[in-house]
Amino acid sequence: MNHKVFVYGTLKRNEPNHHWLTNPEHGIGKFITEGTTKTKYPLIIGTKYNIPFLLYSPGDGHYVRGEVYEVDDTMLSKLDILEDHPNYYVREIDDIIVNKSESSDRETVKCWVYFLKNFRPDLLSKEQFENYSSMGSHGLRYLE
């Protein structure tokens, strides 16, 4: 296991696509901790399928909460397929703030994050979230 990935949407625990990270046919994915982006980004819900998107617009939006996983090469390649990297989402290294194990101290770790980089500017006017849940009060349940 040599990659850390930050997930903020449907791949989180108790979300519709979490099974991707737990399916042994996809490789190894191990939950490490919860984390928050060190930089603010807009997290929106869009399309008729109510998909969460992390827009690559550093400084806009919120410090986004999510989960850090350690994954192997096989899992990372499967996640790239799921996220259609690099055609749709773009996977980039970013700083994520996490709790150090067994203490309340915080540390920054480098994680892969899937961003939407090529987006219409009007998406920045959509409601922006700090924490995604498909069953959230926004009423925009994810549709597969």
Q: Which helix (H) or strand (E) holds 54?
A: strand 51-54
Candidates 15, 34, 70, 83; catalytic one: 83
> Which of these, 11, 16, 129, lies nearest to 78 by C-alpha position?
11
Query: 113 and 89 in contact (C-beta within 8 Å)?
Result: no
Does 107 participate in catalysis according to the annotation?
Answer: no
Examine residue 86 and say whether the peptide bond preceding it is cis (omega within 30 degrees of 0): yes
- Quick one: CA dihedral 60, 63, 67, 70, positive or negative? positive
**Cα(11)–Cα(72) distance, rounded to whole angstroms?**
16
Catalytic residues: 83
